[in-house]
Amino acid sequence: MHGSSLNLDAILDAIADRVAERLRGNDANDSHTIRPRLLSIDQAAQYLGRTRDSVEHLIAAERIPAVRIDRRVFVDVIDLDKLIEASKTGLALA
């Protein structure tokens, strides 16, 4: 019975990895969909679950860098992910 539970764990881990890749947008079967790397302030706010004002405050406080192209301001999704990782507290996930 112990061997079959290891096999089940491996299957569950593989499924969890596949779901995580899809959520991150790294699904190889979904190559026809382009996910933007740069987000508008409103999109960044939605991504973080915050308000537009709070994202503007994070930029002004230099907690996240802004990407300025012409007169438009964007936020790099990689920087948002870094902010999320750096803000985690508590016990490590198993």
Encode pLDDT of 26-49 as tens digits: 555 556 788 899 999 999 999 999
Q: Which residues contact 68 (CB under 8 A, 6 or more apart)?
A: 74
| Count of other CB atoms within 10 angstroms of residue 39 | 20
Specify the pTM: 0.61
Give tens-digit pLDDT for 54-94: 999 999 999 999 999 999 999 999 999 999 999 988 766 65
Going by CATH, does the domain composed of 36-94 fall within 3.30.1360?
no
- Taking alpha carbons only, the member of 82, 90, 94 closest to residue 9 is 94
